[in-house]
Amino acid sequence: MKQLSEKELFHLVNTISIEYFGKAYTDEVIFNSRLRTTGGRYLPSKRLIELNPKYYFEADEDEFIGIIKHELCHYHLHIEGKGYKHGDPEFKALLRLTGSPRHCKPLSSNMNRQKHQYKCVNCNYVYKRVRRVDLKRYRCGKCRGKLVRLS
């Protein structure tokens, strides 16, 4: 896929906003290549949506549209003066209503970075990490069991 211009990106976001929310998107939307672990973010102070261009190129179209819908949920609730943060009931309800994802899927390029694997002795949950974990200091976040290194 080719890189979208700012005008084309705005048109895409505005079209999705009208289709799923019944309201136009009037503020700015940009690609931010510095985003590493998230698909996008909404900055309420600037009324700006920033999207990760890696998701546009690497993920499928439905995933990218889902990220836009998620950020539009933040935007429209903020504009209306309602609870727009992840924990707010209004936000969760609007996510369900519009079919927006709560979290985006990890990129395949980032999955290769996870070199270290740890397993809980009690519940057998497997943790995949980029950095090493100090096994003397950290326990399982689910059951407080002891962790062992797999790779």
- Residues of the chain above pLDDT 90, percent: 79
Annotated active-site residue 90? The verdict is: no
pLDDT at position 36, please? 84
Average model confidence (pLDDT) across the chain: 92
Average pLDDT over residues 20-48: 94
Question: Cα torsion for 19, 20, 25, 31, to the nearest 10°?
Answer: -100
Query: Which are the contacts of 9, defined by CB distance < 8 A and separation ≥ 6?
Result: 29, 30, 31, 51
Does residue 117 contact residue 151 with C-beta atoms inside 8 Å? yes
pLDDT in tens, 82-109: 999 999 999 999 999 999 999 988 787 7
Q: Is the pLDDT of residue 151 over 90?
A: no
**H-state helical runs in the chain:** 6-21, 53-58, 61-79, 89-98, 108-111
Q: Which tokens sit at 147?
A: 């962790």
pLDDT in tens, 61-81: 999 999 999 999 999 999 999
pLDDT at position 111, please? 63
pLDDT at position 105, please? 84
pLDDT in tens, 108-139: 776 666 689 999 999 999 998 888 999 999 99
Q: Which of 28, 50, 61, 71 is the catalytic position? A: 71
